[in-house]
């Protein structure tokens, strides 16, 4: 039985029906990561010993009637910025840290352990989560991430391997992180679903800090429904991350048919490149079948400069020793070796001004979102940048990304789902951006979208044999 491109729910049903063993499933995923995964530059380290031990335990427990839930026996990978104990390196995608090990697992990995999931690999990422200012895909010591959809296209960053491993059907889900665009970007370019949770929903303990007030961890999977299953396992208060919330989270995947209220922020679709604009415009037409779609406007604010200043200052502080000590000279991307120096130019009062504006923006956007279930728009304004060329990035000021800037600076949840293809066959994504703590609402909307369309069931040209 092929296990490629099977959702968590499908695999869980196969396991419980005795059609699939967790050990055989883990073996298949390990094989896929070690072959196709390497070709896509999606893998840093496979965790074979740990994976087979966890899979065997899952098999024993399920046989004994101890069912930990839908992730029990399901393989997954994590972006290599999540700490792992047991001598498994955690490299942050950066050559200077390629041998570095931590003593214990990140909270997210511990929670997935408790849910019975099976860690099969540490996945490739843009060095230091892209926070140094990279502007082309070759920005990791594992090489540029390759899209499963084209050997000439980038998988996106910074959760490159998380996107491409799921998009190539090598894993049912993976964990990524987003400071600005790092889950929704790879989800888009690799043709999968990606969920950026509300800031504080998921513990960051054990994750590489890039920008303390912007970093979020979340799943990439084949469907929005699977993203919800994973979120339930990893969400919740963690005393080791004081920014986590006491709000409980239970994924509601059973919500019946309902009508949604969608808003489109004027200018956000128009700002996308033509191929993306065309797909997203068609998607917005289709959304009328699921509810109302209204144009709306936002106050005229410097959203992208606000988010950039917060990201740059916090990133400069997080890596102060590496930058000032000259350690960035060991990074892969030439621009990552020099751009961070420029951030000394930002004055403290301007950073505080950005934080003050963030509070104002958070209230204004909440007032807008209070009237809708979600704001919808392109997940990314461009499709599949070339592997060998510079790309334009909102983080560097090259392209507008109002929804990304607001969503990340205000800590709002968003789910990105496939919504079409360019003429070159590269995936395009649609995002549902929600009010804080409304993951269930945006996941319900994304599920309804995926029940109504089949973009998420399209497969890349070269399917792996798992």
Partner 1 sequence: MTDEAEILFALIRARYGARLDPAQLADVRATVAGIVRDVAALRAAAIPDGAEPAQPFIPYRSDA
Task: State the catalytic residues.
Answer: 79, 158, 182
Closest among 49, 62, 78 to 20, alpha carbons compared: 62
SS3 of 48-78: HHHHHHHHHHHHHHHHCCCCCCCCCCCEEEE
Query: Do the Cβ atoms of 88 and 49 come closer than 8 Å?
Result: no
Closer by beta carbon to partner 1, 204 or else 343: 343
Query: Do the Cβ atoms of 41 and 142 come closer than 8 Å?
Result: yes
Among residues 22, 32, 133, 420, which is the contact residue for partner 1, using CB under 8 A? 133
Please give the Cα distance from 442 to 448 (Å, whole number): 10
Closest among 50, 31, 14, 308 to 170, alpha carbons compared: 31
What is the edge-to-edge ordering of all strands in the sheet holding 193-196? 43-46, 118-123, 75-79, 173-178, 216-221, 193-196, 414-421, 427-433, 374-378, 260-265, 291-296
Closest distance to partner 1 from the beta carbon of 308 (Å): 6
Q: Is 376 in the site for partner 1 (CB under 8 A)?
A: no
Closest distance to partner 1 from the beta carbon of 97 (Å): 20
In degrees and rounded to multiples of 5, residue 384 shows phi and psi of: 40, 75
Among residues 360, 367, 389, 451, which is the contact residue for partner 1, using CB under 8 A? 360
Q: Is 353 in the site for partner 1 (CB under 8 A)?
A: yes
Closest distance to partner 1 from the beta carbon of 363 (Å): 9
Return the residues of window 223-242 that contact partner 1 according to CB under 8 A: 242
Among residues 40, 126, 139, 309, which is the contact residue for partner 1, using CB under 8 A? 309
What's the residue count for the chain?
466
Closer by beta carbon to partner 1, 213 or else 286: 213
Q: Is 203 in the site for partner 1 (CB under 8 A)?
A: no
Q: Is 345 in the site for partner 1 (CB under 8 A)?
A: yes
In degrees and rounded to multiples of 5, residue 394 shows phi and psi of: -65, -30
Closest distance to partner 1 from the beta carbon of 358 (Å): 4
Per-residue x/- marks for partner 1, 384-423, CB under 8 A?
------------xx--------------------------
Please give the Cα distance from 407 to 99 (Å, whole number): 34
- For binding to partner 1 (CB under 8 A), which residues are involved? 133, 213, 242-243, 301-302, 304-306, 308-309, 312, 326, 329, 335, 337-339, 341-347, 350, 352-360, 362, 396-397
């Amino acid at each position: 039985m092929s296990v490629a491109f099977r959702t968590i729910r499908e695999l869980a049903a196969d396991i419980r029906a005795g059609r699939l063993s967790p050990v055989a499933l883990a073996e298949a995923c390990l094989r896929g990561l070690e072959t196709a995964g390497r070709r896509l530059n999606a893998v840093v380290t496979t965790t074979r010993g740990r994976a087979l031990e966890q899979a065997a335990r899952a098999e024993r427990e399920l046989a004994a009637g101890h069912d930990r839930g839908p992730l029990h026996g399901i393989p997954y990978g994590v972006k290599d910025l999540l700490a792992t104990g047991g001598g498994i390196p955690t490299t942050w995608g950066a050559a200077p840290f390629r041998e570095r090990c931590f003593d214990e697992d990140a909270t997210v990995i511990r929670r997935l352990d408790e849910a019975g999931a099976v860690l099969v690999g540490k996945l490739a990422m843009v060095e230091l989560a892209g926070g140094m200012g990279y502007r082309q895909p070759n920005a990791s010591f594992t090489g540029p991430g390759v899209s499963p959809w084209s050997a000439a296209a980038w998988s996106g960053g910074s959760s490159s391997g998380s996107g491409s491993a799921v998009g190539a059907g090598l894993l049912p889900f993976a964990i990524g992180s987003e400071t600005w665009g790092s889950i929704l970007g790879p989800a888009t370019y690799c043709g999968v679903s990606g969920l950026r949770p509300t800031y504080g929903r998921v513990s960051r303990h054990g994750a590489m800090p890039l920008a303390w007030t912007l970093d979020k961890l979340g799943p990439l999977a084949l469907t929005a429904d699977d993203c919800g299953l994973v979120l339930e396992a990893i969400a919740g208060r963690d005393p080791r991350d004081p920014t986590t919330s006491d709000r409980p989270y239970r994924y509601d995947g059973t919500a019946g048919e309902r009508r949604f209220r969608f808003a489109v922020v004027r200018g956000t679709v128009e700002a996308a490149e033509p191929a993306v604009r065309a797909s997203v415009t068609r998607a917005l037409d289709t959304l009328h079948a699921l509810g109302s779609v209204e144009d709306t406007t936002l106050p005229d604010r410097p959203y992208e400069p606000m988010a950039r200043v917060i990201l740059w200052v916090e990133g400069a502080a997080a890596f102060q020793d590496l930058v000032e000590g000259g350690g960035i000279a060991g990074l892969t991307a030439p621009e990552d070796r020099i751009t961070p120096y420029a951030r000394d130019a930002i004055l403290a009062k301007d950073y505080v001004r950005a934080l003050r504006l963030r509070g104002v923006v958070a209230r204004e956007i909440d007032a807008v979102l209070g009237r809708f279930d979600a704001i919808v728009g392109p997940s990314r304004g461009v499709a599949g940048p070339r592997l060998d060329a510079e790309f334009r990035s909102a983080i560097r000021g090259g392209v507008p990304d109002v929804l990304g800037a607001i969503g990340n600076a205000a800590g709002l949840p968003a789910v990105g789902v496939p919504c079409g293809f360019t003429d070159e066959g590269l995936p395009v994504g649609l995002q549902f951006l929600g009010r804080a703590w409304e993951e269930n609402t945006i996941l319900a909307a994304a599920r309804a979208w995926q029940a109504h369309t089949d973009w998420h069931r399209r497969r890349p040209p070269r399917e792996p044999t798992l």
